[in-house]
Amino acid sequence: MCQKLSGKSFVPRVKRAAVAGGAVEGWTPAGNSAAYRQLISLEPPWGHTFHLELGTAEEMPARTSRLRVELECTCTRQHPAEDMLCFLHHSREQLRGNQGASLLDTLCTGPYLDVEKTTSWFQILVKAAWVMTQPLPRDCYLTVLPSRRSCRLRLANASNTQCLLIEMMFGVQHGDSGTFLIVT
């Protein structure tokens, strides 16, 4: 449902990352509950591109890597929505009247994807998806746990005797290599 909801606006498209061997996916014991970690792959929305800026060999890449967002010309490309305007070649007034703001105007700080803004957006997306997928009455309850760098959830049964902790980390695929950079 998150994939469906994220595909309709100018926010990252959400995909479940297919990582061989479960390098960043899997179960771990967590006291009386189970914990599951999942990598969520983010892809740029229409009219945007992602560029990984990796740290130098002397630096620790996890601390210095960033995801730069750039607008791309869409004037000559066809899009499923017929009235899609180009972020580069149409005025802000035209864009504001016909479509949503660019990713640079919503989830970025400067030209870089802001992980805290992205986490906040994703938490709202998960809540909306949960409401849309749950039949009534509810046998399971979702709580979004405070987090600034990943989406942390708690699923509990109605009696609150069993729960599942879920942490979803965001990543971007590095080229066609099958390697993902976790957005931190």
Residues 84/99, Cβ–Cβ less than 8 Å: yes
Q: In whole angstroms, give the CA distance from residue 63 to residue 55.
A: 8
What pLDDT sits at residue 123?
92
Q: How far is CA 96 from the centre of its chain?
A: 23
Question: Which contiguous run of DSSP H or E holds residue 98?
Answer: helix 92-98
- CATH number of the domain at 2-182, please? 3.30.460
Report whether pLDDT(155) > 90. Answer: no
With CA atoms as reference, report the closest residue to 80 among 43, 44, 45: 45
Percent of the chain residues topping a pLDDT of 70: 74
Residues 55/65, Cβ–Cβ less than 8 Å: yes
What pLDDT sits at residue 24?
53
Residue pLDDT, tens place only, 62-113: 455 688 999 988 887 665 555 677 888 877 777 766 677 788 889 999 999 9
Can you give the residue ranges of every domain in the chain? Answer: 2-182
